[in-house]
Amino acid sequence: MSQSKKPSESSEVIPISGLLETLGFSNPNVQSAVRQIIETAGYTNPRKTNIAVDKAKLVQIYIKANFRLVCSEECDDAAGKKRMKSGLRVRTDKCEFCNGSDQNRLVAKMAKSLSDRGLSEILIVGGSTQSANTLNRLLKSCKINLKIIEGTKRTNLKMAKLLCRNVDLVVIWGATQLDHTVSQVFNIAAEPGTKVPVARPGLKALVDAVNIHLRSN
C-alpha cells in the first residue's frame, strides 16, 4: 500500500509589492522598510520578487500581530493601548484606528490636541446615545478619561459641581438631547475656563468647538 503524500504548499504566487499594497503600504519608503521586516522574519529574501499565497497569509498575520497599522500621528497616538507595538504608516482605509472614516480622524486629532496639552478629564453633558457610544469606543484606547452625562436626566447644582470638580473640560452639547434645566445647572457649575459650549449636534461640531476652545486658551 502506497503511503499518502503530505499536502504541499500552494504553488500559486503573488508579487511581494502587491502583497504590501494590499496591506496598506503604498508609500515606497514604507514598503522598503516592511520588505526588510518580512525578510528579517524569514518570510522571503532580497532575491525574490514573488511570494507563495500561503506564505503571504502568514505575513499578513505576522504584520498585524506585531505592529500598529495607522495612517497618521493622530491615529497613532489615539491607538493608546497598542503603544507596546511599533507603528507602521498605512493608507487611511487600512488604519486600525480610523478605518478610513473622516469622523474618526477628527476625533483622533481632538484626542491628540487634548493629550498634548495635558488635558485628560473630559465631561460631556448631552448628546445622543449613539454619539456617546461612538466616543467611548474611539477613545477607550486613549489617555482621555471621558464621562458622559445624560442630557435628559435632571441633576441638582450640588451634584453638578461635584461632577465638574477636577475636570479639565466641561462640554455642554446643545441642540441635542439636552434639557434646558440640565444645561443651565452645568453652565453654573463649570469653571469659566473649562466650559466648552457646542451649538450644533454631531461629532464634528463637538470636535470643532473643543479645538476652538483649545486654540483660544
Taking 70 as the threshold, does the pLDDT of residue 217 lie above it?
Answer: yes
Q: How far apart are the C-alpha atoms of 206 and 61, rounded to whole Å?
A: 37
Q: Which contiguous run of DSSP H or E holds residue 170?
A: strand 169-173
Q: What is the DSSP letter of 4?
A: P
Q: Residues 75-111: pLDDT tens digits?
A: 998 887 556 788 999 999 999 999 999 999 999 999 9
Model pLDDT for residues 2-37, shown as the tens digit of each residue: 444 444 455 799 999 999 999 999 999 999 999 999
Buried b (16+ CB within 10 A) or exposed e, 21-60: eebbbeeeeebeebbebbeeeebbeeeeeebbeebbeebe
Task: Check if the beta carbon of residue 138 is closer than 8 Å to that of residue 105.
Answer: no
Alpha-carbon distance 91 to 77, whole Å? 16
AA identity, residue 154: R
**Mean pLDDT for the chain?**
91
Region of residue 39 (phi > 0: left; psi between -120 and 50: alpha; otherwise: beta): alpha
Q: Evaluate if residue 216 carries a pLDDT over 60.
A: yes
> What are 148-196's pLDDT values in tens digits?
999 999 999 999 999 999 999 999 999 999 999 999 999 999 999 999 9
Mean pLDDT of all residues in 204-215? 94
Structure confidence at residue 182 (pLDDT): 96
DSSP structure class, residue 70: E
**For position 4, what pLDDT does the model report?**
42
Contact 141, 168 (CB under 8 A): no
DSSP H helices, 117-199, are: 129-139, 157-164, 180-189
Dmax (CA) of the chain: 89
CATH 3.40.50.2300 domain span(s) along the chain? 103-216
- Does pLDDT of 73 surpass 70? yes
Options 3.40.640.10, 3.40.50.2300, 3.30.70.1560, 2.50.20.10; CATH for 103-216 is: 3.40.50.2300
Q: How far apart (Å, rounded) are the C-alpha atoms in residues 160 and 116?
A: 27
Quick check: 117 pLDDT over 70?
yes
Model pLDDT, residue 24:
97
